[in-house]
Amino acid sequence: MNAPILSKDWKPPIWIDVGAVTDIPRRGARRVTSPRGDIAIFRTGDGEVFALMDACPHKGGPLSQGIVHGRAVACPLHNWSIDLASGEPMGADKGKGCTPVVPLEVRDGRLLLSLATAVA
């Protein structure tokens, strides 16, 4: 099997430890300030974690202040439901923009963010 060919500009992601999973309550969020802007890290009732840029695609509302329900968050400004895995609005608002997803990993109970790229 051949190894993938990488661009000369390729750089490995840099992972930044931003705290323990248990720092975020179930069905809650935490905001992290970064050079790229505020990032919201969410924890569902089932313990899954997700990271999105902290701005609703509708009017830029702070998603970190919204209510987490299932695998979504309700924007506190206009109640748009945003899918935590994709950043896409749900229901009647589907297809009306997207909140960028920020790469997030959990290692040994610690939350690690990659600030090199966001998936739009």
Work out the average pLDDT over 77-96.
89
Where residue 26 sits, what CATH number does that domain have? 2.102.10.10
Integer Cα distance of 47 and 114 in angstroms: 20
Domain membership of residue 6 (yes or no) is no
Q: Residue 81's beta-bridge partner residues?
A: 74
Domain membership of residue 118 (yes or no) is no
Write the DSSP string, the chain. Answer: -PPPP--TT--PPPEEEEEEGGGS-TTEEEEEEETTEEEEEEE-TTS-EEEEESS-TTT---GGGSEEETTEEE-TTT--EEETTT--B-GGGTTS--PPB--EEEETTEEEEE-S--B-
Domain membership of residue 10 (yes or no) is no
Domain membership of residue 11 (yes or no) is no
pTM for this one?
0.85
pLDDT given for residue 51 in this prediction: 97
Domain membership of residue 105 (yes or no) is yes
pLDDT given for residue 53 in this prediction: 96
pLDDT given for residue 119 in this prediction: 47
How many domains does one find in the chain? 1
Work out the average pLDDT over 73-85.
94
Work out the average pLDDT over 72-84.
94
